[in-house]
Structure 1
Amino acid sequence: MKRTGEVTLGIIGAFFYAFFAIIGAVMVWVENNREQVESFFREAAAQDPSASISMTDLNDALDAVGNSGLILTIISVVAIILGIISMIFLKGNKKPKAAGIILIVTAVVVAFISYGAGIIAGIFYLIAGIMALARKPKTIIYE
């Protein structure tokens, strides 16, 4: 039995998780390069004084961005690795039950840990996991 649908949905979900991993890495970069971000906001405040932001608010925002970016990057990379493992299990119809369970658990756990940021990619993993569990091979009856 071919598992093209499950593999395709898994690959699409992995691409979405890769996108979130890149966003998380950018968030970590922003937190680690505070001087550049602060100078950018100072220049913006000099051009438009009504849109200025205080440095304490900026530092608080950068702390939050850095922490959430690290979490988003780590869980996205773990989700991609688990998705690749599931695709290997699905390829050739080796272990579809294990692949389906891995995909479903990954989708649910990442959606909760990321506070909903990974829900779109999780939907693809969830559908692929349900398909992997629900599809049964055709039985041939010999008379």
Structure 2
Amino acid sequence: MMKRKGEKVMGIISIVLNIIGVGFGALILSLDSSSYEQFNEILKEEGEALPIETLQAAANAFGIQFMVVSAIAAVLTLVGVIFLKTNRRAVISGILFLVSAVTLLIGTVGLAFVPIILLIVIGLMALIRKPKTEAHISEYPS
């Protein structure tokens, strides 16, 4: 039985970071209109002003998307960590980690780069690492 403590620890760290990502999405949703007005003033200085309703709708859509994608990635990672208990399911676990990384990459437009990198490393470790086979001792003593 091969111990996969490194994959489990990094998986738990990734789950925690994904939960923080859900909180970040909720933080984006909780912005008030004064924040959008300040952001719009910065855009006016650059010469590209937008209506506040458009800014608010875009931020709300992105906040919801960030929350949903981070929650999906956290669940996939949790299932992958649970599957690491047996070596036979390490391949399935590695695939789940890599799918979670791709989901985060596409869904958060790369903003969750730390969990993405962790999940890619964990996924590759779970797929590549194989249990050590014991060397067969010769039946005939020398």
Q: TM-score if structure 1 supplies the norm length?
A: 0.79
Cα root mean square deviation, aligned: 2.5
Contact 1:2 1:92 in 2 (8 A): no
Aligned residues: 130
* Identity value in percent: 28
**1:13 alignment partner AA:** S
Q: 1 or 2, which has the higher helix percentage?
A: 1
Pairing of 1:72-111 with structure 2 (within 5 A): 72-111=66-105
Q: In the alignment, is residue 18 of structure 1 matched against residue 13 of structure 2?
A: no
Distance in 1 (alpha carbons) for counterparts of 2:4 and 2:42: 54
Partner of 1:123: 117
Distance in 2 (alpha carbons) for counterparts of 1:7 and 1:128: 9
Q: Secondary structure at the match of 2:51?
A: helix
Task: Kindly indicate whether structure 1 or structure 2 has the higher relative contact order, using CA contacts under 8 Å at least 6 residues apart.
Answer: 1
Distance in 1 (alpha carbons) for counterparts of 2:10 and 2:101: 12
- Structure 1 residues 53 and 129: CA distance shift in structure 2, 3 A: closer
- Structure 1 residues 135 and 62: CA distance shift in structure 2, 3 A: same
Partner of 1:71: 65
- After TM superposition, the structure 1 stretch with the greater mean CA deviation from structure 2, 1-10 or 112-121, is 112-121
Q: CA deviation at 1:52?
A: 8.3
**Structure 1: runs of 5 or more not aligned:** 31-36, 46-50
Q: CA deviation at 1:14?
A: 1.3
Q: Secondary structure at the match of 1:98?
A: helix
Q: TM-score if structure 2 supplies the norm length?
A: 0.79
